[in-house]
Structure 1
Amino acid sequence: MTELSVDVRVQVARWRNLLVDAARCGSLASPLAALSHPHWEPMELQALWWLRAESLLPVGVLAMRLGGLAMPRLSRLVDRLEAGGLVRRERSVRHDRRRVRVRLTEAGHALTDELNAQVQERMAKLLSPLQGETRSALMDILELWVQALTVQARTAEEVAEENAELASVPDELLRASAA
């Protein structure tokens, strides 16, 4: 484990304990986990919900959103949703035709409106123990946290891109630029 300050260790311990307590109350499960529909599996419903949230997703990103779902399983899931008229696959014409993205159809949008109502109801129940100003303060803090995570993720992506670019530069050029 990396070197952490005493303050950070105390906060991590507090957060861990809060998560354990929230789990004991049954409040830690994802509001997406229990989506239900008479015809569609929970994982298919989660895929639809993510497509509603993000409009158009490459299949690899959709697999990650679904917890790192293996590509063969994701392919079967998308096949089923496509056969049901809820999604359509799109190939990138400009870049690489092997790159496939998935988008909701009108029927998919209609179903995800129902799913979103289920998710919102579950989330409202999670927030209901808090009153007005306290609930608003929690949302403000969570927004700050997500903004910080977004900056951190972008920085990590930029470093990875720079490393990939450096890896593609021939060794002779690197030696010449260092001289």
Structure 2
Amino acid sequence: MTELSVDVRVQVARLRNLLVDAARCGALASPLASLPHPRWEPLELQALWWLRAECLLPVGVLAHRLGGLAMPRLSRLVDRLEEGGLVRRERSVRHDRRRVRVRLTDAGRAVAEETDALVQERMARLLSPLQGETRSALMDILELWVETLGAQARAAGEEEEENTAPTLVPDEVLTASAA
């Protein structure tokens, strides 16, 4: 492990033990896992659920949301959903036509709503052992954690952008090197 304070190491050990215990109780199973539907596979329902949550997703982001799904498999999944009338692909006209995004249709939104109702039921069962203030305190802490993770991700993205930005060469240098 990297250079961490004793306090952080203790907290990491506590978190690991809590996650192991929660998994033993079945609480770490994804509420998106094994969603039942007479026609659509669980992974297809998960894709619809993510599209409902985020409205319009580039295919690469959708692949990431689905656990790092390989692009050929994602393309087949989107093909099936498109053929079923649940999603449509959109190409970026303004920037790069190779960039494809996926959006729900009205029919897809209806299936996604059914899926979300089931996911919310599963989440309610996870939270139901906690009462009022305790449940609210947990939600407050989780919101703070997610906000912090988001801020870290944005900062890392900005730093990566700065490190990969092309170096601008003054015109005088270009003119001199061309001579």
Asked if Structure 1 and Structure 2 have the same fold, meaning a TM-score greater than 0.5 normalized by the shorter chain, the answer is yes
> Which aligned pairs between 1:20-59 and structure 2 lie closer than 5 A?
20-59=20-59
State the alpha-carbon separation in 2 of the partners of residues 147 and 34 from structure 1. Answer: 29
| Deviation string, structure 1 residues 120-149 (Cα, Å, up to 9, x no partner) | 000000000000000000000000000000
After superposition, give the CA deviation of every residue in 1:69-99 in whole Å (9 maximum; x if it has no partner): 0000000000000000000000000000000
1:34 CA drift (Å): 2.2
Over aligned residue pairs, what C-alpha RMSD do you find? 1.2
> Hey, what's the Cα distance between the residues in 2 that align with 1:28 and 1:88?
32
2:164 pairs with 1:169: no
Unaligned runs of 5+ in 2: 174-179
Partner amino acid, structure 2, of 1:156: A
* Superposition TM-score, scaled by structure 2 size: 0.93
Q: Calculate percent identity across the aligned residue pairs.
A: 80
Letter in 2 for 1:159: E
Supply the distance in 2 between the matched residues of 1:102 and 1:160 (Cα, whole angstroms).
Answer: 26
Matched letter for residue 167 of structure 2: V
Question: How many Å separate the matches in 2 of 1:2 and 1:103?
Answer: 42
In structure 1, the partner of 2:176 is: none
Partner Cα distance (1:150, 1:158) in 2: 12
Moved over 4 A (4+): none
1:104-125 CA distances to partner (integer Å, 9 max, x unpaired)?
Answer: 0000000011001000000000
Query: What is the alpha-carbon distance in structure 2 between the residues aligned to residue 34 and residue 140 of structure 1?
Result: 29
Secondary structure of 1:160 counterpart: helix
Q: Secondary structure at the match of 1:89?
A: strand
The CA distance in 1 between the partners of 2:154 and 2:91, in whole Å, is 26
Partner in structure 2 of residue 134 of structure 1: 134
Amino acid at match of 1:158: E
Which residues in structure 2 correspond to 1:75-94 (within 5 Å)? 75-94=75-94
Q: Tell me, in whole angstroms, the C-alpha distance in 2 between the residues paired with 1:114 and 1:68.
A: 24
TM-score, normalising length: structure 1: 0.93
Count of matched residue pairs: 171
Q: In structure 2, what is the equivalent of residue 96 of structure 1?
A: 96
Secondary structure, in 3 states, of the residue corresponding to 1:88?
Answer: strand
